[in-house]
Amino acid sequence: MKLSDFDFDLPEELIAVRPARPRSSARLLVAQGSDILDRRVTDLSDFLLPGDRLILNDTKVIPARLSGLRHRGGAAGEGTARIEATLLEPRADGCWTALVKPLRKWREGEEVVFSPRLSARLEGVEDTQALIRFNLQGDDFDAALAEAGAMPLPPYIAARRAADEADKTDYQTLWAARPGAVAAPTASLHFDEVVMAALAERGVQLTHVTLHVGAGTFLPVKVDDVADHVMHAEWGEVTAKAADEINATRAAGGRIIPVGTTALRLIESAATSKGMAPWVGETDIFITPGFEFQVADGLMTNFHLPKSTLMMLVSATMGTDRIKAIYAHAIAQKYRFFSYGDASLLLPGRADR
In a domain, 162, yes or no: no
Question: Which pLDDT value is given to residue 30?
Answer: 98
**Residue 92's domain spans which residues?**
65-148
Instruction: Collapse the DSSP code of 138 into the 3-class scheme (helix H, G, I; strand E, B; otherwise coil) and give the result.
Output: helix
Query: Each residue of 125-135: pLDDT tens digit?
Result: 998 899 999 99
In a domain, 158, yes or no: no
Q: Is the pLDDT of residue 214 over 90?
A: no
**CATH at 141:** 2.40.10.240
In a domain, 161, yes or no: no
What is the C-alpha separation between 31 and 65, in angstroms, rounded?
A: 36
Q: Name the nearest CA neighbour of 123 among 99, 95, 101, 103.
A: 95
Q: Is the pLDDT of residue 315 over 50?
A: yes
In a domain, 330, yes or no: yes
In a domain, 159, yes or no: no
In a domain, 353, yes or no: no
Q: Is the pLDDT of residue 78 over 80?
A: no
Global pTM reads 0.92
Same domain for 221 and 85:
no
Same domain for 299 and 211:
yes
Same domain for 308 and 190:
yes
Other C-beta atoms lying within 10 Å of the C-beta of residue 325: 14
Terminal Cα distance for the chain, rounded: 34
Average pLDDT estimate for 88-117? 93
In a domain, 75, yes or no: yes
Question: Which pLDDT value is given to residue 352?
Answer: 44
Q: Name the nearest CA neighbour of 285 among 238, 325, 346.
A: 238
Stronger pLDDT, 169 or 73, i.e. the higher one: 169
Same domain for 81 and 57:
no
Q: Is the pLDDT of residue 170 over 50?
A: yes
In a domain, 278, yes or no: yes
Question: Of 113, 148, 183, which closes a domain?
Answer: 148
Where would I find the H helices in the chain? 138-148, 155-158, 167-170, 193-202, 240-251, 261-270, 309-318, 320-332
Q: Is the pLDDT of residue 215 over 90?
A: no
Same domain for 316 and 261:
yes
**Which amino acid belongs to residue 163?**
A
Average pLDDT, the chain: 94
Same domain for 73 and 55:
no
- Number of domains the chain is built from: 2
User: What are the CB-based long-range contacts (under 8 Å, 24+) for 89-97?
Assistant: 89/180, 89/182, 89/212, 89/214, 89/235, 91/131, 94/133, 94/137, 95/123, 95/131, 95/132, 95/133, 96/120, 96/131, 96/132, 96/133, 96/134, 97/126, 97/129, 97/130, 97/131
Same domain for 77 and 47:
no
Same domain for 202 and 318:
yes
Question: Of 148, 178, 199, which closes a domain?
Answer: 148
**CATH at 242:** 3.40.1780.10
Q: Which of 85-94, 111-120, 162-171, 217-226 has the lowest mean pLDDT?
A: 217-226
Same domain for 226 and 84:
no
CA angle 259-290-226, nearest 5°? 90
Same domain for 187 and 51:
yes
Same domain for 21 and 134:
no
Q: How confident is the model at residue 349 (pLDDT cuts 50, 70, 90)?
A: confident
Same domain for 236 and 108:
no
Average pLDDT estimate for 198-203? 98
